[in-house]
Amino acid sequence: MNALLWTLQVLLAVIFTYSGLAKISQPEERLIAIGQTGVAPFPMPVVRFTALAELLGAIGLVLPPLTGIATYLTPLAAVGFAVVMVGAMGSHAYLREPRNVALNVVIFIAALTIAVGRTVGL
């Protein structure tokens, strides 16, 4: 189970690092062009704040268990990503993008798996 959790943690850290770096550095038009269409309904300050949260969350998924310091942050980061995915599902549903909603559901399930797995010590 530990290997599954680590795989999910690294995968989500990569996904959210990429997403966060794009959202923090690119204009809205470029984000939409590269597939980050869920940003369209939101003002850019909200997108930038979300990007910062994604980058910090990606760090929270991997750094605490690697160092053994503040390991309680890992399930909290995973819960934060689950919450972000609920917002992303709503945004993509509003934009009528069912494939993106499905991807958000998969990421949501992965985040919840990490949260539960790292909380109960599976």
What is the pLDDT confidence band of residue 121, given thresholds at 50, 70 and 90?
low
Does residue 122 have a pLDDT over 60? Answer: no
Q: What is the DSSP string of the chain?
A: -HHHHHHHHHHHHHHHHHHHHHHHHS-HHHHHHTT-GGGTTS-HHHHHHHHHHHHHHHHHHHHHHHHTSSTTHHHHHHHHHHHHHHHHHHHHHHTT-HHHHHHHHHHHHHHHHHHHHHHHT-
- The percentage of residues in the chain with a pLDDT greater than 90, rounded to a whole number, is 92
- What are the pLDDT digits (tens) for 8-37? 999 999 999 999 999 999 999 999 999 899
- What are the pLDDT digits (tens) for 72-102? 999 999 999 999 999 999 999 999 999 999 9
What is the pLDDT confidence band of residue 1, given thresholds at 50, 70 and 90?
confident
